[in-house]
Structure 1
Amino acid sequence: MTDLKFDVAGIGNAIVDVIAHADDDFLTANGIEKGAMTLIDAERAETLYSKMGQGTEVSGGSCANTIAGLASLGGKAAFFGKVRKDQLGDVFTHDIRSLGVHFTSEPATDGDPTARCLILVTPDAQRSMNTYLGAAQNLSVADIDPDVITASAITYMEGYLWDPPKAKEAFLEAAKIAHGADRLVSLTLSDSFCVDRYRDEFRNLAKEEVDLLFANEAEILSLYETDVFDEALQKVLKDCKFAAITRSEAGSVVVANGEVHVADAEKVSKVVDTTGAGDQYAGGFLYGLSRGKSPVECARLGHMAAAEVISHVGPRPEVKLSELAKERGLAA
């Protein structure tokens, strides 16, 4: 068996985020659904970008943000994602490699430009995401290095990338390789609207292919078509060996081998921007899992990382999460 070199190998959209503040009137005037992730085409991306206020550009993408959080905790990570050989593609590549993440995906030399996500943050800290997937949606099996998957304790996959058929094939192949090497496979549902599109497929994945499922409350309710959290939880207990469900300020619920564990959210003096909260929770949780932490300790690491990222604008940590973990007695 291949020796472990990485704690987590992530597969997801390689995106550069453009983050700007806006009020509810701006969202309404421009037909933006508050709090959701909406896929847009190139023309819509150009139009919306021209109307946004001053923005901050930062490398993003749900899975890539998770990998960045794990790296900040001291974890060893790899990432697979597709960019174009253009300005934003160079930005993304530089940023993720600067974190010490193994990223060797070949950039496309033609076709769609590098993906970007236009994020509007309202005064209540809710983020409304408008995503042009561009080159990211062209990820395929050919972009997945089997040696990296077999050398990773956990392969973590982003539900947002379930839309493109070739990326879906890449997911399934990576899961097959990981399980063939006796490694773990993890999936985040990403968004309730994503769940609406692929409910049956995601439920099958949760039962048959995924060892660890991440979801927030809205996503898990959508997955099981119920408005009652306890009903959804009972179905998670039946379907999943391991699941972590975030509930905003109510903390999270972790299901592990038929047992339910509840973890409190970490208090934050002021919530500035919720962008990346779920991503960082997953990063902290995966780091804890790779270090043999208990379910509650994994959740505490997740809440710590999420609390840090919602205290400022942007989806990635601005301080070393490893230092915060030491302060809280959660270091490996």
Structure 2
Amino acid sequence: SVWPSILYFSILCQAWEVQDIPESVRALKGSCVVIPCTVSYPGSPKPTENLVAIWKKSPEEEIFNTQISNDRMKLVGDIGQNNCSLEIKDVQPKDGGPLHFRIVVHGLDSYSFLNKVVSVKVQGLPDDPDLIVSTDLQAGVAVVALCVVKHTCPTHPPKITWTYNTTKSKVQHLAAKDAEWKLTSSITLIPEARQHGEKLTCKVKYWGGMQVETSVVLQVTCEYCQCLKCTICWNEKEYAFYYYMPYKVHLNRWCTSNTNFENVQQRGSANRIEISLFTLILAQVSVYLCVRPVDKVRKKNSKNSQYMYKKGK
């Protein structure tokens, strides 16, 4: 029959080919890198023991051979399943440079893929992660923060941690391009007004121990916070506010009698005014200390020079 002959001829005509090898790949010194590779060869599939996978720097310089023990390098998959991907641990500058793959098929032939060369670029420091979070935070309103990092070692991906007090983080790990992988960690923030000005930090630890981090300063507004009230010590020309915040955050603000406040209402004598502040950003005020300016209007031995008021309802 002619059909077996055609089938045998088509098998023999299958090409020597490698796929998925990128033109270049970044590798972090002291960490690890995986160079993706898929190989095909003429003839029927062979068992793993009949195949030898080799990675070389040049036709003369061999860096990896499946028949030779290697503490730092190994194939990620099974060459018997056409997977020739190479993992390099504890990457060193000497690992850089152009690499190509060679396969030996016992009982058939061998082939070096000199037309598919990957350039390994060893870098001493990793890139800082990208921290993505809205700059317009409202107290009490949930928002998602993302920490994104790219790497080239999917067998030992980096670990991402947050300074924000939460145990609920979602991690997504996806292949990107040029042997890179994209690792994303997301958390849900419910910011409080007292967190205005605090830092949010995501930290990345790579396999091998190297660490980097990125921080942003939280800008929290309090549009719908509870109205704060205080009876102000009043003088015809000037008075002072002292806002005492949690964690000893101190804001000193001087005003004049011409300052425009919302909903200003006079109560009682002319030297006392009750006001409502609707736009105070740092709204977690535990106590207002209301003081007359010491250097201008405070009288000697005055017993009524300061008043303490708790947060109004």
Greater per-residue strand proportion: 2
Instruction: Specify the structure having the higher radius of gyration (Cα).
Output: 2
TM-score norm. by structure 2 comes to 0.17
Greater per-residue helix proportion: 1
